């Protein structure tokens, strides 16, 4: 959700904060703000409703704060509308302490009431202002910043990653974390805090991940960590290998288009290191063979597009493993009293590794004794760290809010896991295994073939961008694929769109089809092609305009029935949706482009969702 950045440095803070916020803007873009301690020891705050560019402009017009210690924030509004007053950083009423916060303070109202009774006045509707007012209240009483910080941590409940400045401590910055991502960077020119590593790559590659309950004190030359009880702790540091350029647009007009085009390479990075001598090697699992041998039931738990991977995974893994597999939305799973035990494997899928609902589901699963395997993109993220086994997608940083390469690589890795387990459990015959291993290796090239001529999708999008409502239909794996196609379209183009299991249409939804309604029919799944054609004919009979997606194998059956046909190369049926999603991503992208939408930052969304 929100992004926070902080620097205790040896150079001017503002450029570091603004560059960092630019990298974090995908986490929320309702407002942006910074606070810097000036050379005279004063807290200077600048903040504005709207995108970071509005703040940048303000800083150009007015005097930008000078000073080498500062914090910054980009907001995804929770408490209080997006306006200047609700923008972070927030100050205490004495103006001595400033705070940036990502998360939600659940008991803020109760604390606010008690502070109001003490005569403290508030200037925003946010839960964060309650923290800073409480902090200043304690600080005024005890005159020691760390005492005040620990007193506040003892009172607040909820999720938070915070950066704290106090003008009486002009040489330091404090970081605290509970259930929200926060990492600390140590560089030659200073120490840093950030919600995400991409904000730090320009300054350092040495980072430490903060754990729940920890507090860090940062100065330009040092970082000290303390636990919940205020005892000093040593923390391991990690070296980040991601390339700075990987988080830049590299000549593309949008991150989304760049990330779509990067898919062949991303898939290669996921697959190649895991195939050797004609075998799938998942080293991560070799240390935990019981995890496979004892499993009786699998839950795949995730949110958003990662959940759609789980939907496809359900069809694929049940077939491969002959075990019951359920795909669950993480936000539902955690409150549904799932029946788990030590024979249950819970697969958590998450690009960011920080999605709060997925994290909570993981913890619930572990509490009940289930084994947790996660498929994650961001190295060292919370979900990765708390899982029994983690498989990284290695897709590189994904910046556009609408996921593309993370989705495809999650799917590929889940399929590799399925095939690997199937072999271990003795369900896969040798011939099919060899074919699949070969096809995994060739998948990057097949994906590149789909991307060879994006013009086709651009032209199609031009003909359809004015529709107000679109239905995606498909059967089996195509139905699960339609969920993702529909989500992609609605999230970036704001066109109302729904995805239906094609066989279910006649039980209600077909009443919405009228002359001119756009239906995207997914028909890549060869075993059910006849049934899919019947569904296409049914919607056409009601006047629908149909775009279809097929493979070389199924195309003949559909040609002539539809206004537009996208054809992807035929691969093993298991791997087909990896190719099938690419035209849907490009179609959504070009439709949104024609509609003049802000593709990388769609309204109301954020890439990393760290609130419930």
Q: HEC states along 107-126?
A: CHHHHHHHHHHCCCCCCCCC
Nearer to ligand G6P, 75 or 607 (CB): 607
**Angstrom distance (rounded) from CA 512 to CA 499:** 13
Question: Quick one: which segment of 135-143, 222-230, 478-486, 602-610 binds ligand G6P (CB under 6 A)?
Answer: 602-610
Give the nearest distance from C-beta 270 to ligand G6P in angstroms.
15
In 82-191, alpha helices (H): 108-117, 127-142, 145-155
Nearer to ligand G6P, 98 or 401 (CB): 401
Tokens of 83: 């306006």
Give the one residue of 78, 133, 204, 305 binding ligand G6P; rule: CB under 6 A.
305
- 207 part of the interface to ligand G6P, by CB under 6 A: no
Residues 489, 591: contact at Cβ < 8 Å? yes
- A 10 A CB-CB count for 336 gives 12
Give the nearest distance from C-beta 304 to ligand G6P in angstroms.
3
- 381 part of the interface to ligand G6P, by CB under 6 A: no
Catalytic, 2? Answer yes
Residue with smallest beta-carbon separation from ligand G6P:
304
Question: Quick one: which segment of 234-242, 345-353, 412-420, 458-466 binds ligand G6P (CB under 6 A)?
Answer: 345-353
Give the nearest distance from C-beta 348 to ligand G6P in angstroms.
8
**Angstrom distance (rounded) from CA 367 to CA 344:** 12
Give the one residue of 303, 345, 412, 510 binding ligand G6P; rule: CB under 6 A.
303
What DSSP character marks residue 136?
A: H
- 351 part of the interface to ligand G6P, by CB under 6 A: yes
Catalytic, 42? Answer no
Please identify which of the residues 2, 186, 303, 597 carries the catalytic annotation.
2
- 401 part of the interface to ligand G6P, by CB under 6 A: yes
566 dihedral zone (left: phi>0; alpha: psi -120 to 50; beta): beta
Question: Quick one: which segment of 36-44, 168-176, 351-359, 581-589 binds ligand G6P (CB under 6 A)?
Answer: 351-359
Strand order in the sheet with 469-474: 496-501, 469-474, 518-523, 545-551, 564-568
- 306 part of the interface to ligand G6P, by CB under 6 A: yes
Give the nearest distance from C-beta 609 to ligand G6P in angstroms.
5
**Angstrom distance (rounded) from CA 31 to CA 29:** 5
- 20 part of the interface to ligand G6P, by CB under 6 A: no
- 355 part of the interface to ligand G6P, by CB under 6 A: yes
Give the one residue of 146, 151, 275, 605 binding ligand G6P; rule: CB under 6 A.
605
**Angstrom distance (rounded) from CA 495 to CA 227:** 48
Residue entry with tokens 């087909």: 576
Least Cα distance to 373 among 295, 271, 473, 278 occurs for 295
Q: Output the furthest CA–CA distance in the chain (Å, rounded).
A: 79
**Angstrom distance (rounded) from CA 398 to CA 383:** 17
Give the one residue of 350, 374, 476, 517 binding ligand G6P; rule: CB under 6 A.
350
Strands 545-551 and 564-568: parallel
Nearer to ligand G6P, 124 or 352 (CB): 352
- 304 part of the interface to ligand G6P, by CB under 6 A: yes
Residues 43, 89: contact at Cβ < 8 Å? no
- 352 part of the interface to ligand G6P, by CB under 6 A: yes
- Judged by the rule CB under 6 A, the positions of this chain that interact with ligand G6P are 303-306, 350-352, 355, 358, 401, 403, 605, 607-609
Where in the sequence numbering do the catalytic residues fall? 2, 607
């Amino acid at each position: 959700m929100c992004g926070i950045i902080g620097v205790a440095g040896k150079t001017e803070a503002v450029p570091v904060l603004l560059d960092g916020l630019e990298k974090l803007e995908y986490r929320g873009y309702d407002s942006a703000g910074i606070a810097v301690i000036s050379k005279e020891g004063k807290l200077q705050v600048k903040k504005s409703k709207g995108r970071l560019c509005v703040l940048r402009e303000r800083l150009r017009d007015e005097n930008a704060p000078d000073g080498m210690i500062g914090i910054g924030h980009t907001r995804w509004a929770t408490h209080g509308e997006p306006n200047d007053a609700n923008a972070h950083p927030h100050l205490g009423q004495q103006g001595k302490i400033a705070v940036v916060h990502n998360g939600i303070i659940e008991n803020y109202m109760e604390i606010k009431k008690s502070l109001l009774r003490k005569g403290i006045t508030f200037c925003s509707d946010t839960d964060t202002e309650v923290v800073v007012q409480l902090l200043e209240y304690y600080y005024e009483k005890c005159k020691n910043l760390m005492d005040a910080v620990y007193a506040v941590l003892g009172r607040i409940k909820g999720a938070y990653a915070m950066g704290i400045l106090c003008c009486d401590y002009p040489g330091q910055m404090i970081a605290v974390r509970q259930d929200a991502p926060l990492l600390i960077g140590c560089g030659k020119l200073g120490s840093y805090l950030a919600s995400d590593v991409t904000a730090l790559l320009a300054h350092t590659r040495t980072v430490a991940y903060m754990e729940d309950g920890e507090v860090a004190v940062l100065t330009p030359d040092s970082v000290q960590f303390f636990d919940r009880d205020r005892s000093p702790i040593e923390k391991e540091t990690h070296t980040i290998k991601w390339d700075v350029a990987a988080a830049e647009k590299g000549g593309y007009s949008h991150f989304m288009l760049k990330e779509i085009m990067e898919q062949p390479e991303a898939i290669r990075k996921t697959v190649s290191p895991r195939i050797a001598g004609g075998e799938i090697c998942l080293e991560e699992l070799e240390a935990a063979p019981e995890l496979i041998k004892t499993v009786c039931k699998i839950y795949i738990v995730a949110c958003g597009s990662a959940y759609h991977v789980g939907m496809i995974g359900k069809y694929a893994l049940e077939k491969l493993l002959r075990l019951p597999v359920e795909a669950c939305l993480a936000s539902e799973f955690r409150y549904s009293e799932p029946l788990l035990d030590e024979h249950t494997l819970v697969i958590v899928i998450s690009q960011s590794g920080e999605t709060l609902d997925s994290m909570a589901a993981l913890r619930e699963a572990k509490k009940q004794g289930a084994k947790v395997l996660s498929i994650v993109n961001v190295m060292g993220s919370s979900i990765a760290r708390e899982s029994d086994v983690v498989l990284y997608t290695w897709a590189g940083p994904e910046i556009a809010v609408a996921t593309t390469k993370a989705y495809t690589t999650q799917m590929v890795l889940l399929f590799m896991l399925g095939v690997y387990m199937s072999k271990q459990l003795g369900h896969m015959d040798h011939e099919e295994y060899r074919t699949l291993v070969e096809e995994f290796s060739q998948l990057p090239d097949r994906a590149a073939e789909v991307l060879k001529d994006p013009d086709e999708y651009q032209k199609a999008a031009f003909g359809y961008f004015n529709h107000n409502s679109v239905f995606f239909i498909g059967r089996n794996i195509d139905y699960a694929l339609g969920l993702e196609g529909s989500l992609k379209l609605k999230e970036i183009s704001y066109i109302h769109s729904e995805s239906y299991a094609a066989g279910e249409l006649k039980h209600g939804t077909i009443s919405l089809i009228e002359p001119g309604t756009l239906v995207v029919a997914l028909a890549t799944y060869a075993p059910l092609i006849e049934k899919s054609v019947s569904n296409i004919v049914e919607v056409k009979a009601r006047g629908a305009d149909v775009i279809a997606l097929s493979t070389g194998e199924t195309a003949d059956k559909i040609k002539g029935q539809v206004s537009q046909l996208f054809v992807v190369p035929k691969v093993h049926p298991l791997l087909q949706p990896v190719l099938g999603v690419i035209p849907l991503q490009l179609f959504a992208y070009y439709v949104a482009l024609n509609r003049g939408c802000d593709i990388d930052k769609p309204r109301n969304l954020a890439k990393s969702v760290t609130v419930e």
